[in-house]
Amino acid sequence: MLRNMMIPGVTLVLLFMISMTSVTGGLNESQQAENTIAIYGDKIYTMAKSEDGSWSGVIKDGVVLIKDGKVVQVGLAGDIEIPEGSIIKKAAVVTPGLIDARSVVGLAGWLNIDHDSDHIERSSPIQPELEALDAYNTREPLIDWVRSFGVTTLHTGHAPGQLISGQTFIVKTRGNTVDDAVVKRKAMVACTLGSDALRSGKESPGTRSKQMAMLRQEFIKAQAHMDKQEKAEGDEEKEPPARNLRMEALISILKKEMPLMISAHAAVDIQNVLRLQKELDISVVLQGGAECYDFVEPLKKQGIPVIIHPTMMRSSGVGKNASMETSAKLIAAGVQIAMGSGYESYVPKTRVVLWEAAIACAYGCSFEDALGMITLSAAELLGVDDRIGSIEVGKDGDVALYDGDPFEYTTHCVGTVIEGQVVSEAVR
């Protein structure tokens, strides 16, 4: 009798397991839906490129489907099935999350006081060993501010103002800790040529000649240090040199593992940038470039990309000869270009790249080229276009939502999404 009763019991257990499997499958689908967001747009600028390198155009009445932080589908709304339970967002215009290609946000804050000013160290003119990641404050309100306009990624770090002020890194504008937010820990080493990095009295460098001599000397030391390392690696009897963080940073430049990003505006300083790149055979990025319109061909020939100054930078000091048409001229000539918010000494030390690109659009850039400078073109220059910069399947689900043309003054950013998470719904 007991034996006979066990058979139905086993059957019941099996049926229960099958039933639970079905329920579990349903829960997984529900959980997947919870991790899925569908973003509808009257216009979606994917900022992807066609095989010939041209912009792929706009999708009208489209949808971007993001699952587990990645774009899984993008296309016409009628062609994409949205999982039940997905988060739904709608906007007039949808673009990739914006990228600020040169910023100090997170190291410099909005109050301009000691406790939120870690962007520049004045104790020495050359400090390539300083890592931006160590000074980045994820809770700085200025990060929230730029994010509310659609900026999802920053290339941020030590400011111009010292001959070598430190390193930069790439970070998403979200995350409770810097480890949650970081995209690329070591991006570039920030250098400044020209009057912004000159010192008065007996301090060095006091002249442009001294700037160049100091740079050359440091790289000579780094080359010697690297040679000793390589010889020690090939000979067990030779003791390798002691670790030196400064030398390690400079060696990474010599090995082309990191570019030297040189802030230079005046023609004389841009000529020194071109000369230094040839002498050292290193990867160089020109940042600023107020007068670089006079050096378009040399920049293109030497393969030096430009992170152009904000279009509306103050036309005084080193920027006295800046032009609002420079972006269009560089793009037309085929020079790789991105736009950054740059650095300014007054509060809050930054600009919003959305507006700067809008002005570039009014001064010769096409809409797509202007938007590209703060999306895909920026990602390509920074070497992170495999993850961000365009709305394409497999890339991070970073999206900005607007209630109209993003370059129109009356348009608002109505939402920002980073890796499928809504991080801002403020109307800016």
Closest CA to 254 of 289, 217, 224, 281: 281
Average pLDDT, integer, range 294-301: 98
Closest CA to 294 of 323, 315, 320: 323
Average pLDDT, integer, range 189-212: 95
Average pLDDT, integer, range 269-295: 98
Bigger pLDDT: 11 vs 385? 385
Cα 194 to Cα 205: distance, rounded to the nearest angstrom: 10
Cα 174 to Cα 147: distance, rounded to the nearest angstrom: 8
Whether 343 contacts 119, CB under 8 Å: yes
- The pair of three-digit structure tokens given for residue 145, joined into one six-digit string: 């501010």
Bigger pLDDT: 128 vs 33? 128
Average pLDDT, integer, range 59-76: 98
Domain boundaries, given as residue ranges, for the chain: 36-96+390-428, 98-388
Bigger pLDDT: 347 vs 44? 44
Specify the pLDDT at position 344: 83
CATH code assigned to 98-388: 3.20.20.140
Specify the pLDDT at position 27: 33
Bigger pLDDT: 372 vs 201? 372
Bigger pLDDT: 413 vs 345? 413
Closest CA to 282 of 266, 249, 258: 258
Whether 387 contacts 396, CB under 8 Å: yes
Average pLDDT, integer, range 95-102: 98
Q: Is the pLDDT of residue 404 over 50?
A: yes
Summarised one tens digit per residue, pLDDT across range 125-166 is 999 999 999 999 999 999 999 999 999 999 999 999 999 999
Whether 166 contacts 130, CB under 8 Å: yes
Whether 163 contacts 192, CB under 8 Å: yes
Average pLDDT, integer, range 20-46: 66
Specify the pLDDT at position 14: 35
Average pLDDT, integer, range 202-212: 95
Specify the pLDDT at position 12: 34
Average pLDDT, the chain: 91
Count CB neighbours of 88 within 10 A. 12
Q: Is the pLDDT of residue 216 over 80?
A: yes
Which residues have C-beta within 8 Å of that of residue 213, sequence separation ≥ 6? none
In the structure, what pLDDT confidence band is assigned to residue 186 with cuts at 50, 70 and 90? very high
Helix, strand and coil percent figures for the chain, each rounded to 5? 35, 25, 40
Q: Is the pLDDT of residue 172 over 70?
A: yes
Q: Is the dihedral of CA 129, 281, 227, 215 positive or negative?
A: negative
Please give the distance of CA 344 from its chain centroid, rounded to a whole number. Answer: 19
Cα 25 to Cα 85: distance, rounded to the nearest angstrom: 15
CA dihedral (40, 43, 49, 50) in degrees, to 10, reads 100
In the structure, what pLDDT confidence band is assigned to residue 53 with cuts at 50, 70 and 90? very high
CATH number 3.30.565.10 is the correct assignment for the domain at 36-96+390-428: no
Q: Is the dihedral of CA 400, 401, 404, 408 positive or negative?
A: negative
Average pLDDT, integer, range 76-99: 98
